[in-house]
Amino acid sequence: MKSPQQITVQAQHEGSKIRQRWYQVKDSERLHTVSLLLDHFRPVSTLAFCNTKQQCRDLVEVLQAQGFSALALFGELEQRERDQVLVQFANRSCSVLVATDVAARGLDIAQLEAVINVDVTPDSEIHSHRIGRTGRVGQSGAAEGLALNLASMNEMGSVGKIEPLQGRESEWHELAELTPGKGEPMKPPMATLQIVGGRKEKIRAGDVLGALTGDCGYAKDQVGKINVNEFSTYVAVDRAIAAEAAGKLSSGRVKGKSVKVRLLEL
C-alpha cells in the first residue's frame, strides 16, 4: 500500500458497566470454585474462559456432573459441532459456554450476564477483551456485567500486569463469601429443536414460526431464535414445551413437507 492508514478503535464496553471480582484459589480447587460462583451469582448466561482445551473439557465434565447446562468450544471441533454449540448458547438453551480464547474469537453474544476467567491469561490485553464481552450488556439498558476471576499464587505476576492497564487495583474477595446450596443449578429458559433441512430445502424462519404458532398451537412468545443453516434449522422453544413441540413438528409439516425433528439434549 502506498499510503496506509492505521486506525485504532476503542473497546466496545465501559469499565463502569463491569463489576469485577477476584478470588485466590489453589489449582486443585479451581474447577469446583466455578460451580460455587455459578451457584452463588446464578447468571442465566455465562462465558467461562480457559487457557487450554483440556481445561475446557475438564470443566464441562465437572459442571455437567453437577447438573449445570454447559458446553465446550475449542479449536478441534468440527464446524457442525461448533455451529450447534454456538446456536444453543446464543439462543439461551445452554447456560454456560466454556471456551478457549482461540475458539471464542469473534463471538458476539447478546445478553451475556457473566464472564468467568477460570485461568488468568498472561496477556493483559486479552483479559480486557474477555471481560468486555459482558460489559456490552449495558448497551441495551440492562444491569452491569459481571466479571469473576480466579487466580492462583503462580498467576499473580499476570494479575499485576492487568492492573496498570485497567487503571485500578484488583478487588479481591474471599471464597468463604460464596454461599452454595441456593437450590438446583439454574436451567436455561429455552431448549433447541433441530430440524433436518435448511436453506437447501428453501426452509425459512417464517415457515418454522408459522408451523409452531399455527398447526402446533403455540404462542409466539414461546418461540425464540430460529437459525436456518444450509442443511439444518435450529429453533429455540420454551423449555417447558420442548419435548411436546418436537413431537408435534415431527408429526406435522413445515412448508408443506414432513420433517425430522430432534430435541438437542445437553
Asked if residue 10 is part of any domain, the answer here is no
Are residues 248 and 198 part of one domain? yes
Residue 225 resides in a domain: yes
116, 218: one domain = no
Strand ranges of the sheet holding 18-24, from the earlier edge strand across to the other edge: 70-73, 96-99, 46-49, 114-117, 145-151, 18-24, 172-173
CB atoms under 10 Å from CB of 168, counted, come to 10
* 156 CB neighbour count, 10 Å cutoff: 12
Residue 202 and residue 120 share a domain: no
End residue of a domain, out of 177, 199, 225? 177
Assess whether 107 and 223 both reside in one domain: no
d(CA 20, CA 172): 9
Verify that 60 and 149 share a domain, yes or no. Answer: yes
Mean pLDDT of the region 202-223: 95
* Residues 172 and 194 both lie in one domain: no
36 and 167, same domain (yes or no): yes
Q: What's the CATH number where 43 sits?
A: 3.40.50.300
Residue 205: give the domain boundaries: 190-263
173 and 222 belong to one structural domain: no
What is the reported pLDDT for 11?
47
Of the three residues 130, 152, 177, the one that is the final residue of a domain is: 177
Question: Is the residue at 56 inside a domain?
Answer: yes
Assess whether pLDDT exceeds 50 at residue 17: yes
Residue 136: pLDDT over 70: no
pLDDT single digits (tens) 233-261: 999 999 999 999 999 999 999 988 899 99
Task: Look at residue 103 in the predicted model and tell me its pLDDT.
Answer: 77
Q: Which domain CATH number covers 240? A: 3.30.70.330
Is 39 part of a structural domain of the chain? yes
Instruction: For residue range 75-107, list pLDDT tens digits in order.
Output: 888 888 999 999 999 999 999 999 998 877 877
> What separation in angstroms does the CA of 104 have from each of 25, 47, 55, 265?
24, 9, 15, 22
What's the farthest any 2 CA atoms get from each other in the chain? 63
Q: Is residue 231 part of a domain?
A: yes
**Co-location of 46 and 98 in the same domain:** yes
Within-domain flag for 81: yes
Q: For 160-203, what is each residue's pLDDT tens digit? A: 999 898 888 899 999 999 987 667 788 999 999 999 999 999 99
- Count CA atoms within 13 Å of residue 183 on its CB side: 4
2 found inside a domain: no
C-alpha cell at 9: 478503535
Residue range 139-154, pLDDT digits in tens: 444 567 899 999 999 9
Question: What does the pLDDT look like over 20-60, one tens digit per residue?
Answer: 999 999 999 999 999 999 999 999 999 999 999 999 999 99
Query: What pLDDT score was predicted for residue 2?
Result: 86
pLDDT of residue 12: 46
Residue ending a domain, among 177, 210, 235, is: 177
At 157, list the grid cell.
505476576
Confidence band for 138, pLDDT divided at 50, 70 and 90:
very low
Q: How many domains does the chain have?
A: 2
Please tell me whether residues 144 and 218 are part of one structural domain: no
Closest CA to 227 of 73, 111, 133, 93: 93
Question: What span, in angstroms and rounded, lies between the C-alpha atoms of 23 and 53?
Answer: 22
- Decide if 233 is inside a domain: yes
